[in-house]
């Protein structure tokens, strides 16, 4: 899965008004749902794409929603930004055919991995520099360390921090710090949803955050939901 995408599946879930720093795609693969986006009510829709920081809520008391949160400055985020018309904050899918047209697929229903595959198929293939690959592997294995700095990365590939930052952004569209943050948040969310006995404080420490308040801050900022709310809904949400 792409590291700049968080894929979730939610069942019979109603989410209060919130906003977040990611692009978000929400698609139902069974029952139409209602949503309020920027104060406008949309009834019996099949999905939507919204820009970052757009206030919205979802009411899906019956059925399953597939949710993708996407880093705005990643390659896929930049591609999505081009799909909006001028002064448009959202794209609403009123029917399965509109969803299929947007994702250019003929599937009758799509889960989160299908949506991710459809997005990735529309983005240019990149032959990553081996130094970028090395840093990605390092983050995957060491994301939980709280002492990681830009110099940590630079020392591993024998580049200056500024040169490495430029190379990484050129190839991924986003920054090294955002990549590290998304890796930590994805893991924190995974543990929250799958290890119900683990305390949120322990999860914060175990995924590289200084403390629970820092995890709260970034999770709410990026996804519009604090880990506490996620934990209470863990029976209804699955992470991909």
Length of the chain: 240
Contact between 140 and 163 under an 8 Å Cβ cutoff? The reply is: no
> Biggest alpha carbon distance in the chain?
55
- Predicted TM-score of the model (pTM): 0.91
Query: What average pLDDT score do residues 210-234 get?
Result: 92
Average pLDDT score over residue span 62-89: 92
Q: Which domains does the chain have, with CATH numbers?
A: 5-120 (2.60.120), 128-224 (1.10.10.60)
CB 123 within 8 Å of CB 82: no
Give the containing element (helix H, strand E) for 26.
Answer: strand 23-28
Residue 120 confidence class, pLDDT cut points 50, 70, 90: confident
Per residue in 11-50, pLDDT (tens digit) is 888 888 899 999 999 999 889 999 999 999 999 999 999 9
* Residue 194 near residue 202 (C-beta atoms within 8 A): no
The secondary structure element, H or E, covering residue 77 is helix 75-81
Strand-pairing partners, residue 92, are 48
Q: Phi first, then psi: give them for residue 218, nearest 5 degrees.
A: -75, -35
| CA atoms of 35 and 56, how far apart (whole Å) | 7
Q: Decide if pLDDT at 1 tops 70.
A: no
């Amino acid at each position: 899965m792409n590291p700049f995408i968080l894929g979730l599946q939610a069942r019979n879930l109603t989410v209060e008004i919130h906003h977040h720093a990611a692009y978000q795609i929400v698609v139902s693969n069974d029952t139409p749902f209602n949503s309020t986006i920027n104060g406008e009510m949309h009834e019996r829709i099949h999905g939507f794409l919204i820009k970052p920081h757009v206030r919205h809520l979802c009411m899906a008391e019956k059925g399953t929603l597939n949710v993708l949160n996407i880093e705005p400055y990643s390659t896929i985020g930049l591609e999505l930004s081009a799909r909006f018309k001028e002064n448009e904050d959202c794209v609403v899918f009123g029917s399965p055919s509109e969803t299929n047209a947007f994702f250019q697929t003929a599937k009758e229903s799509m889960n989160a991995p299908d949506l991710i595959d459809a997005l990735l198929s529309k983005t240019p293939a990149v032959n990553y520099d081996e130094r970028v690959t090395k840093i990605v592997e390092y983050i995957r294995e060491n994301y939980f360390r709280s002492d990681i700095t830009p110099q940590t990365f630079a020392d591993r590939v024998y580049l200056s921090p500024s040169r490495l930052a430029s190379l990484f952004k050129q190839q991924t569209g986003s920054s090294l710090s955002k990549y590290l943050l998304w890796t930590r948040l994805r893991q924190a969310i995974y543990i929250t949803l799958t290890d119900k006995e683990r305390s949120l404080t322990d999860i914060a420490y175990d995924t590289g955050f200084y403390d629970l308040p820092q995890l709260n801050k970034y999770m709410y900022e990026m996804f519009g939901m604090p880990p506490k709310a996620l934990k209470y809904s863990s029976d209804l949400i699955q992470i991909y």
